[in-house]
C-alpha cells in the first residue's frame, strides 16, 4: 500500500517527528509513504509531493518546522456556499481526489489544527480515507489533552522570561511579554508560571487595568520594584475588543497582536513606573522541539499508521490519560479546550501570588 501525509496550517516544533513516526511505522508494514508539499495545496493535480523513506527522514526528528512545507491559505480555505454551509469548494476536493487516485494513495494522514481537521473531515465525507493528527501550538483542541509543539513553545517563553527578569530587576522596570494564544491562554499560563511571571493575562479571565496596576503597586510596597507581566495575544480589552495587527477579511484568521504594548502603556499611566513591552511572536514556533514534543510526535505518527492498518478512517489521533488513542474527527473539531478560571492550576497560581488582573484572591508576593 502507498499512503500520503500532509501538514496544514501554522508550523510547530514536532511536525518532523510525526513524519519520522509515520515513515518508520509504515516502513515496518512494508508500505510506501508520499509527503505532499505545502499543505492541501500539494494535492492539486498533478500533485506536488516527495517520496519519504527512512533514508530521507533520518535525523529530521530534531528539526523544527516541517520538511514538507505548509500553508494556511490557498485553495482549501472554506467558503460559505450552498445552504449557508461553510466548506471547501467541492470542485477543489474532487481535484484532490483525482490526484490521490492517480497516485494510488490508499490513505491520507492530515496533520493540522481545528481548521485543517475540518477540511480533513470534509475530505473523508467526500470519500477520501483520512486519518487526522492534531497540531495546535496553543494546545487548545478539546479532544486531546496535549499536542506536540506546546512544550517547545512554553520553553521559549520561559527562556525569554529568564532573560527579561535580569534586565527588569536591574532597571526596576515592569516588562510585559506578549505570547501566542489566540483563544486559549495555555502558553501564557504555563510559560508565565514556569518563568516566574507576577501577572498573567489570559483570554479566559477578564482583567482590568486598575487591578493590574494595583498588583504592581502592592509589589512595589513590599520592596519588589520589578514586575514581569505575561499576556496572551488573545486577551481582550475591558471593552471586550481583541487587538489585531491585520484584519484579513474572510481569507483566514485575522492576525492578532498589540495587547502587550497596550497593557504596557496603561501600566505606565496607572503606576508611573517605567515599563517596556516585548512580543515573542514566531520565536515560539521556531527551533528544535523538546524531547517531550519529539516523543509525542513520533507516537502520534505511529498511531496514525496503526489506525490505517485497522481501517479506522475518519478518526483523529488523541492523547488522553497518558495514552495515545483515537477519537472521531467530528468530535475533535469546533470544540476548544480553554483554561478553566476555577481550575486547580489557576487556584495554585493565585495561591503563590500570581495576579490575573481580576478581583480573584491573589496574595501579593
Does 358 interact with ligand F6P (rule: CB under 6 A)? no
Residue 67 to residue 353: CA distance in whole angstroms? 43
Closest CA to 198 of 73, 365, 325, 1: 365
Q: Which residue lies nearer to ligand F6P by CB, 129 or 286?
A: 286
Does 245 interact with ligand F6P (rule: CB under 6 A)? no
Q: Which residue lies nearer to ligand F6P by CB, 72 or 290?
A: 72
Closest CA to 181 of 172, 191, 194: 191
Residues 27-46 that bind ligand F6P (CB under 6 A): none
Give backbone dihedrals phi and psi of 157, rounded to 5 degrees, phi first.
-65, -45
Q: According to CB under 6 A, which one of 256, 267, 339, 362 is a site residue for ligand F6P?
A: 256
Does 137 interact with ligand F6P (rule: CB under 6 A)? yes
Return the bridge partners of 36, or none: 49
Q: Cβ(271)–Cβ(282) under 8 Å?
A: no
Residue 28 to residue 31: CA distance in whole angstroms? 7
| Per rule CB under 6 A, count of chain residues that contact ligand F6P | 11
Residue among 11, 138, 293, 326 flagged as catalytic: 138
User: Smallest distance, Å, CB 256 to ligand F6P?
Assistant: 5
Does 363 interact with ligand F6P (rule: CB under 6 A)? no
User: Smallest distance, Å, CB 279 to ligand F6P?
Assistant: 11
Q: According to CB under 6 A, which one of 62, 102, 255, 365 is a site residue for ligand F6P?
A: 255
68 contact partners, CB below 8 Å, separation of at least 6: 5, 6, 7, 15, 19, 35, 36, 37, 38, 42, 50
Q: Note if 138 is an active site residue.
A: yes
User: Which active-site residues does the annotation give?
Assistant: 138
Chain positions contacting ligand F6P, by CB under 6 A: 10, 72, 137-138, 180-182, 233, 255-256, 285
Amino acid at each position: 500500500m502507498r499512503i500520503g501525509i500532509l501538514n496544514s496550517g501554522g508550523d510547530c516544533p514536532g511536525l518532523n517527528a510525526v513524519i519520522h513516526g509515520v515513515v518508520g511505522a509504515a516502513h515496518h508494514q512494508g508500505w510506501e509513504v508520499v509527503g505532499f508539499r505545502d499543505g492541501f495545496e500539494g494535492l492539486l493535480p498533478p500533485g506536488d509531493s516527495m517520496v519519504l523513506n527512512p533514508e530521507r527522514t533520518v535525523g529530521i526528528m530534531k528539526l523544527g518546522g516541517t520538511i514538507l512545507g505548509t500553508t494556511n491559505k490557498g485553495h482549501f480555505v472554506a467558503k460559505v456556499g450552498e445552504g449557508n454551509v461553510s466548506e471547501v469548494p467541492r470542485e477543489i476536493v474532487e481535484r484532490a481526489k483525482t490526484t490521490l487516485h492517480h497516485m494510488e494513495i490508499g490513505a491520507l494522514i492530515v496533520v493540522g489544527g481545528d481548521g485543517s481537521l475540518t477540511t480533513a473531515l470534509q475530505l473523508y465525507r467526500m470519500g477520501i480515507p483520512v486519518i487526522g493528527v492534531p497540531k495546535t501550538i496553543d494546545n487548545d483542541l478539546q479532544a486531546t489533552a496535549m499536542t506536540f509543539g506546546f512544550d517547545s513553545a512554553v520553553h521559549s517563553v520561559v527562556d525569554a522570561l529568564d532573560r527579561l527578569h535580569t534586565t527588569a530587576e536591574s532597571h526596576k522596570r515592569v516588562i510585559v511579554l506578549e505570547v501566542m494564544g489566540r483563544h486559549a491562554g495555555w502558553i501564557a499560563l504555563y510559560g508565565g508560571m514556569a518563568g516566574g511571571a507576577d501577572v498573567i493575562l489570559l483570554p479566559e479571565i477578564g482583567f482590568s487595568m486598575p487591578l493590574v496596576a494595583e498588583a504592581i503597586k502592592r509589589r512595589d510596597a513590599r520592596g519588589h520594584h520589578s514586575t514581569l507581566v505575561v499576556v496572551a495575544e488573545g486577551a481582550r480589552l475591558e471593552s471586550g475588543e481583541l487587538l489585531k495587527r491585520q484584519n484579513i477579511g474572510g481569507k483566514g484568521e485575522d492576525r492578532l497582536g498589540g495587547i502587550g504594548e497596550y497593557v504596557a502603556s496603561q501600566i505606565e499611566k496607572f503606576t508611573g513606573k517605567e515599563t517596556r513591552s516585548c512580543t515573542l511572536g514566531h520565536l515560539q514556533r521556531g527551533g528544535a522541539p523538546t524531547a517531550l514534543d519529539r516523543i509525542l510526535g513520533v507516537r502520534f505518527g505511529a498511531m496514525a499508521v496503526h489506525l490505517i492498518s485497522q481501517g479506522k478512517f475518519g478518526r483523529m489521533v488523541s492523547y488522553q490519560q497518558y495514552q495515545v488513542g483515537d477519537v472521531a474527527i467530528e468530535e475533535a473539531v469546533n470544540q476548544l479546550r480553554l483554561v478553566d478560571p476555577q481550575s486547580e492550576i489557576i487556584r495554585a497560581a493565585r495561591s503563590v501570588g500570581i495576579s490575573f488582573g481580576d478581583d480573584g484572591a491573589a496574595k501579593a508576593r
